[in-house]
């Protein structure tokens, strides 16, 4: 069960707040749910689409900057 109430394919406007271990951008949606967004930089604001949603985090792709 997905307790985060976010789903694959959703679009969200985010700001990248940090980089993960492998250099991918990290953003938060719905308060504290983490989304990994490859190819982004800290401070970047963009619109993303969720490509894979797991229990504790999700992956997203930039669709608009």
Is residue 45, in this structure, part of any structural domain at all? yes
Is residue 5, in this structure, part of any structural domain at all? no
Is residue 1, in this structure, part of any structural domain at all? no
- Structural domain including 19 reads 11-64
The CATH number that applies at residue 55 is 2.40.50.140
How far apart CA 6 and CA 42 sit, in angstroms, is 23
**Total-model pTM:** 0.90
Is residue 42, in this structure, part of any structural domain at all? yes
- Tokens 């993303």 appear where? 48
Residue 5 has pLDDT above 90, yes or no: no
Condensed to tens digits (0 to 9), the pLDDT of residues 26-57 reads 999 988 999 999 999 999 999 999 999 999 99
| Residue 20 token pair | 């993960």
> Looking at the 3D structure of the chain, how many domains does it have?
1
CB of 62 closer than 8 Å to CB of 46: yes
> 32: number of CA atoms within 13 Å, CB side?
2
Is residue 27, in this structure, part of any structural domain at all? yes
């Amino acid at each position: 069960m997905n307790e985060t109430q976010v789903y694959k394919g959703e679009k969200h406007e985010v700001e990248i707040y940090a980089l993960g271990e492998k250099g991918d951008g990290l953003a938060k949606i719905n308060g504290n749910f983490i989304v990994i967004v490859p190819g982004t930089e800290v401070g970047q604001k963009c619109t993303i689409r969720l490509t894979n949603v797991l229990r504790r985090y999700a992956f997203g792709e930039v669709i608009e900057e």
